[in-house]
A and B are shown apart, each in its own frame.
Chain A
């Protein structure tokens, strides 16, 4: 069990800790300042969410020591009382959890020592007095053979919980669980031989350990799912509220006419398709939408999320997840444009949402009228459409009641192409072999040179996304959207 010693008993290894890439780099730089021989430490503020499967904690910011806050003359960590008191008093002024993160010397595993036990036992009780009802987080970072490895334990509601997984945006790290890094035995499979040879065995192993959440299991999502399942991703979380209809058959991988006849949920079709491709893949299928609680609980335990819906509220919610819970996300969209029977544009858009990237609002991706209409109940939609007709009859502008938008139909080759590209970049992140070389990519397949553009928008100064990075559930007042009460409850498919 993670960090289990004689003094501290771990109740369960069920917690996940997430870092943004930039904060992790700052953390490593700070903690390794006396490397390779000596340790160092810092306090930190962390957001958290208490999910059914355990805590998911995200690093919001560091509270690094000042010059007199630590003893420079000893090799191990010795935190001076004024530093601790300052952090405790500041915790009374913010809603986040307090954490202490320290390094072990290079080459040493992050196994807690008896001194670490003393420190954690003391701090667990101490900070509970200043920040009651919040977790206390203790993490150890080390570098072994050039690789980052972390261990952690969290004092929460009177029990110590071990960290079962660390996730750093676009950076590979190992989790120490008491007996060594949490690596399954190397899983060399003939079916992924080409991928293994292209990216290396280690990359294939990372894919087997990875979890990807795919939001939307329609044309684009089903392509993402298929590619990831064939690449050997260990676990896929599928989210979609809809059932297969006959018009989906042209696009949705794995769908058959019988699925449309029986109105089978899209996530069920996707799950069965995945298991036909790779029976060892773990699949979690949820009929629901972001940001419903059950969906958020699942998605924030993933390494990467891929957004594949044509709904603006889903795009906004994914952007929110990327900012507040530090889940690296790629959102993809397609559009066909045409007039008089001629197709004039076939557009693919891929958007990278890392926690440092501008959110969907800052990027101007959200149209207020459109998202408002998406979020209305069926009754309200019908009422407004009727009002718009009556306004038109009166000679008034009907748009204040209902803004009619041209339906953008898409076709299978386009959704498959967009989904394949998004899946490819997700694989790049998961394996650490390559990254999306863009912030927001748009390309038109019918333009000369494909008319590729990359828009690197900048965050708006007034946007909450700049100040709630990693704040998790402690920033619900700044959430980009809430769950409409008329939505049906999310439903997890059994089996």
Chain B
């Protein structure tokens, strides 16, 4: 597995001020730090950390799913988070994956590996945490 492409994509995010880190021990994931949310209007934090698994075979395999820290007030409110897709431990922190599939009929554009990546997935995460129930 070459992480070079992902590191380049995360570097693009950092240039724009968004922090995100790649973790490759165990199940490889990207953790996006302090993703903006639409929570303020309903008394929730304005940002939240989000974990996204690196799909096997990336970039041919589309980025899918999104996870929140166990105990996050957004669990149960973000789309698909009622449908637990498994728990993962990343850097000593427990996360719960939600059934969020933006590139697979879940509201985003169809996956195009020439255009999409972890840098563009941030848009999907912002949209995800903006529409809360």
Residues of A within 8 A of B (CB): 313, 316, 361, 366, 368-369, 371-372, 374-377, 380, 383, 387, 397, 399-401, 403, 460, 462-464, 476-486
Most chain B C-beta atoms within 10 Å of own C-beta, residue among A368, A403, A464, A484 = A368
For A400, list chain B residues within 8 Å (CB): 99, 101, 104-106
A399 touches B105 (CB 8 A): yes
User: Would you call B55 and A485 a contact (CB within 8 A)?
Assistant: no
Minimum CB–CB distance from B9 to chain A (whole Å) comes to 9
8 further A-B contacts with Cβ under 8 Å, apart from A372-B64, A480-B60, A484-B61, are A368-B110, A368-B112, A400-B101, A400-B104, A460-B114, A481-B58, A484-B1, A486-B56
Contact call A375/B114, Cβ cutoff below 8 A? no
> What distance in Å separates the Cβ of B103 from its nearest Cβ neighbour in chain A?
7
Give the number of residue pairs across the A-B interface with Cβ within 8 Å.
Answer: 90
B114 touches A376 (CB 8 A): no
Residues of B within 8 A of A476 (CB): 2, 4-5
Chain B residues contacting A369 (CB-CB under 8 Å) are 62, 104
B93 contacts partner chain A, Cβ-Cβ < 8 Å: no
Q: In the bound complex, what is the Cα–Cα distance between A147 and B8 (angstroms)?
A: 45
B contact residues around A482 at 8 Å (CB): 1-2, 57-60
The answer for the CA separation of A401 and B80 in the assembled complex, in Å, is 12
Known A368-B103, A369-B104, A400-B104; contact A484-B57, beta-carbon cutoff 8 A: yes
Q: How far is the CA of A366 from the CA of B62 in the complex (A)?
A: 12
Per the 8 Å Cβ criterion, residues 1-19 of B in contact with A are 1-2, 4-5, 8
Chain A proximity of B8: nearest CB distance (Å): 5
A316, B115: Cβ atoms under 8 Å?
A: no
Interface contact A361-B111, CB-CB below 8 Å: no
Bits for B33-71, please: 1 = Cβ < 8 Å to A, else 0: 000000000000000000000011111111010000000
Task: Point out the residue from B1, B57, B111, B112 that lies within 8 Å of A313, measured CB to CB.
Answer: B57
Q: 6 A–B contact pairs at CB < 8 A?
A: A369-B62, A376-B56, A399-B104, A400-B105, A401-B101, A481-B58
Q: For residue B104, which residue of chain A has the nearest CB? A: A400
Smallest CB separation, B91 vs chain A (Å): 19
Residues of A within 8 A of B104 (CB): 368-369, 372, 399-400, 403
With A368-B112, A372-B111, A400-B106 as given contacts, are A480 and B59 in contact (CB-CB < 8 Å)?
yes
B8 near A463 with CB under 8 A, answer no
Contact A478/B5 with A368-B103, A464-B114 known, Cβ cut-off 8 Å: yes
The complex places the Cα of A177 from the Cα of B8 at a distance, in Å, of 42
State whether A313 and B105 are in contact (beta carbons under 8 Å apart), knowing that A361-B114, A462-B114, A482-B1 are contacts in the complex: no
The residue of chain A having its C-beta at the shortest distance from the C-beta of B3 within the complex is A482
Residues of B contacting A486 with CB < 8 Å? 56
A376 / chain B contacts, CB cutoff of 8 Å: 56, 61
Nearest CB in chain B: distance from A340 CB, A: 30
Q: Are A483 and B105 in contact (CB under 8 A)?
A: no
Residue of B nearest to A394 (CB): B83
Q: Which residues of chain B are near A387, meaning CB under 8 Å?
A: 83, 85, 99
Q: Given the known A-B contacts A400-B101, A400-B104, are A375 and B60 also in contact in the complex, defined by CB atoms under 8 Å?
A: yes
Q: How far is the CA of A372 from the CA of B85 in the complex (A)?
A: 17
Is there an interface contact between B105 and A479, defined as CB atoms closer than 8 Å? Answer: no
- Judge whether B113 and A372 touch: CB under 8 Å: no
**With the chains together, A375 CA to B111 CA distance in Å?**
15
**A483, B5: Cβ atoms closer than 8 Å:** no
**What residues on A are CB-neighbors of B28 within 8 Å?**
485
Q: How far is the CB of B65 from chain A (nearest CB, A)?
A: 10
The closest CB in chain B to the CB of A390 belongs to: B83
Distance from A356 Cβ to chain B, minimum over Cβ atoms (Å): 18
Nearest CB in chain A to that of B100: its residue: A400
> A375 touches which one: B56, B105, B110 (CB < 8 A)?
B56
Contact A368 B114 (CB under 8 A): no
Contact A368 B56 (CB under 8 A): no
Q: Which residues of A contact B115 (CB under 8 A)?
A: 462
Residues from chain A with a CB closer than 8 A to the CB of B114 are 361, 460, 462-464
Tell whether, in the assembled complex, residue A366 and residue B2 are in contact, meaning their CB atoms are under 8 Å apart: no
For B1, the chain A residues whose CB sits under 8 A away are: 482-485
Q: Complex: how many Å from CA A401 to CA B8?
A: 29
Q: Are B5 and A479 in contact (CB under 8 A)?
A: yes
Tell me which residues across on chain B come within 8 A of A480, comparing CB atoms: 59-60, 113
A89 CA to B14 CA, complexed, in Å: 29
Expressed in whole angstroms, the minimum distance between the Cβ of A47 and any Cβ of chain B is 15
Which residues on the B side are within 8 Å of A313 (C-beta)? 57, 60
Question: Complex Cα distance A376/B112, Å?
Answer: 18
B105 touches A397 (CB 8 A): yes
Q: How far is the CB of A367 from chain B (nearest CB, A)?
A: 10
Given contacts A387-B99, A399-B105, A476-B2, contact A481 B59 (CB under 8 A): yes
Whether the pair B4, A477 counts as a contact (CB closer than 8 A) is yes
What's the nearest-Cβ distance from chain B to residue A358, in Å?
12
A483 to B8, CA, bound (A): 18
Q: Which residue of A lies closest to B63 (CB)?
A: A372
Contact A375/B55 with A399-B104, A485-B1 known, Cβ cut-off 8 Å: yes
- Chain B nearest CB, measured from A319 CB (Å): 11
The residue of chain B having its C-beta at the shortest distance from the C-beta of A477 within the complex is B4
Once bound together, how far apart are the Cα atoms of A219 and B3, in whole Å? 35
- Contact indicator B60/A481 (Cβ below 8 Å): yes
Residues of B within 8 A of A481 (CB): 57-61
Report how far A395 CA is from B8 CA in the complex, Å. 40
Residue of A nearest to B101 (CB): A400
CA distance A486 to B28 in the complex (A): 12
Contact A371–B105 (Cβ < 8 Å): no
B56 touches A484 (CB 8 A): yes
Q: Nearest-CB distance from B30 to chain A (Å)? A: 15
What 0/1 pattern do residues 101 to 124 of B give for CB contact below 8 A with A? 101111000111111000000000
Interchain CB contact under 8 A, B60 and A483: no
